[in-house]
């Protein structure tokens, strides 16, 4: 009987070392901390920070303090790596730090996440936007990018902006950072003493923190064409009625009119002759 009990105890001990101890080793305690910042680099207080394991199980949730800091102390994970997800509820809108900003870290020791990995890209709302692009010498495949002066005018305020576009690699030779709204934009190019202008485009600038959030504007100068910009075109307050032009039919009314006139003169002469008789 004692041998049986000794065998059972040995088996339980072996089971503990084979299964339980590795599990305890995998779930060792660790700490993780960092700081949440906004698009300008300022700390964000009250942001939601969720700590998750590699199986996307939630380990813990907390809010950042006044300095944008968070600190998960003595926590454990069922997986070997962990990361955080960050969001902010503000003015009825939820902002999120893109998940690909934050790396996966080993679930051991003291982990410190760089603030650049928990930075909001769209909070706070930007007060200005970007408009950039290039000037091109035509629309054909062999058209080249050219230099020139670019003029931008706000439709709502009339404020004017000007830039000299010297870059000809097509990667953005002019660059405006202006308040959101509608704008009229055109370019002037001088070559061999000849001045040409592009047509005026109406564009909309959206709020943005990054210049690459919107597509570039390409201003095209057609070879041999000097179009007037939009602000120089005559303003027509009412539609001009169309003028109807008679279509040629191959028949002329001139001989018929002449014959009628001659006949009328003959009849008048005969009338006066008969009056004298």
Using an 8 Å Cβ cutoff, are 188 and 196 in contact? yes
Kindly give the confidence (pLDDT) of every residue in the chain, 277 residues in length, as a single tens digit, with 9 standing for 90 and above.
445 544 444 555 444 444 444 444 456 899 999 999 999 999 999 999 999 999 999 999 999 999 999 999 999 999 999 999 999 999 999 999 999 999 999 999 999 999 999 999 999 999 999 999 999 999 888 899 999 999 999 999 999 999 999 988 887 789 999 999 999 999 999 999 899 999 999 999 999 988 888 889 999 987 654 444 444 433 333 333 333 333 444 444 455 555 666 666 666 666 665 566 5
Helices (H) and strands (E) in the chain, counts: 3, 17
Distance CA 160, CA 152 (A): 6
Query: Measuring CA to CA, which residue among 149, 160, 207 is closest to residue 183?
Result: 160
70 has which bridge partners? 34
Distance CA 259, CA 263 (A): 6
DSSP tag of 12: H
What confidence score (pLDDT) does residue 145 get?
94
**What is the residue-wise DSSP string for 192-247?**
TTEEEEPPPEEEEEPB-SSGGGSPPEEEE--TT--PPPGGGSPP-SSPPPPPP-PP
Give the pairing type, strands 30-35 and 109-113: parallel
In the block, residue with structure tokens 């997800």: 85
Cα-only R_g, the chain: 41
What confidence score (pLDDT) does residue 244 get?
35
Using an 8 Å Cβ cutoff, are 211 and 175 in contact? yes
User: Is 129-232 a CATH 1.10.760 domain?
Assistant: no
Domain ranges for the chain: 13-118, 129-232
In the block, residue with structure tokens 């597509």: 215
What confidence score (pLDDT) does residue 168 get?
86
Contact residues for 28 (Cβ-Cβ < 8 A; gap 6+): 76, 107, 108
- CATH class name, domain 13-118: mainly beta
34 has which bridge partners? 70, 113
Would 13-118 and 129-232 be classified into the same CATH topology?
Answer: yes
pTM metric for this prediction = 0.56
Q: Output the six-digit token pair for 20.
A: 């339980």
Distance CA 20, CA 28 (A): 13
């Amino acid at each position: 009987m004692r041998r049986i009990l000794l065998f059972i105890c040995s088996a339980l001990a072996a089971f503990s070392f084979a299964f339980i101890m590795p599990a305890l080793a995998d779930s060792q305690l660790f700490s993780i901390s960092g700081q949440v910042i906004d698009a300008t680099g300022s700390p964000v207080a009250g942001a939601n920070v969720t700590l998750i394991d590699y199986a996307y199980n939630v380990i813990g949730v907390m809010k950042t303090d006044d300095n944008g800091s968070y600190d998960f102390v003595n926590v454990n994970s069922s997986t070997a790596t962990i990361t955080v997800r960050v969001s902010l509820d503000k003015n009825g809108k939820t902002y999120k730090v893109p998940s690909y900003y934050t790396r996966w870290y080993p679930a051991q020791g003291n982990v410190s996440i760089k603030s650049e990995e928990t930075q909001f890209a769209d909070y706070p709302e930007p007060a200005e936007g970007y408009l950039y692009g290039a000037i091109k010498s035509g629309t054909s495949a062999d058209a080249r990018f050219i230099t020139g002066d670019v003029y931008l005018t706000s439709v709502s305020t009339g404020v004017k902006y000007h830039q000299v576009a010297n870059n000809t690699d097509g990667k953005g030779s002019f660059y405006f950072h202006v308040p959101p709204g509608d704008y009229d934009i055109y370019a002037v190019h001088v070559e061999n003493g000849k001045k040409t202008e592009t047509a005026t485009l109406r564009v909309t600038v959206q709020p943005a923190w990054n210049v690459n959030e919107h597509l570039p504007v390409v201003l095209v100068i057609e070879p041999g064409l000097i179009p007037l910009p939009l602000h120089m075109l005559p303003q027509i307050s009412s539609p001009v009625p169309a003028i109807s032009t008679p279509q040629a039919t191959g028949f002329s009314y001139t001989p018929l009119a002449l014959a009628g006139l001659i006949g009328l003169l003959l009849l008048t002469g005969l009338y006066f002759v008969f009056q004298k008789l």
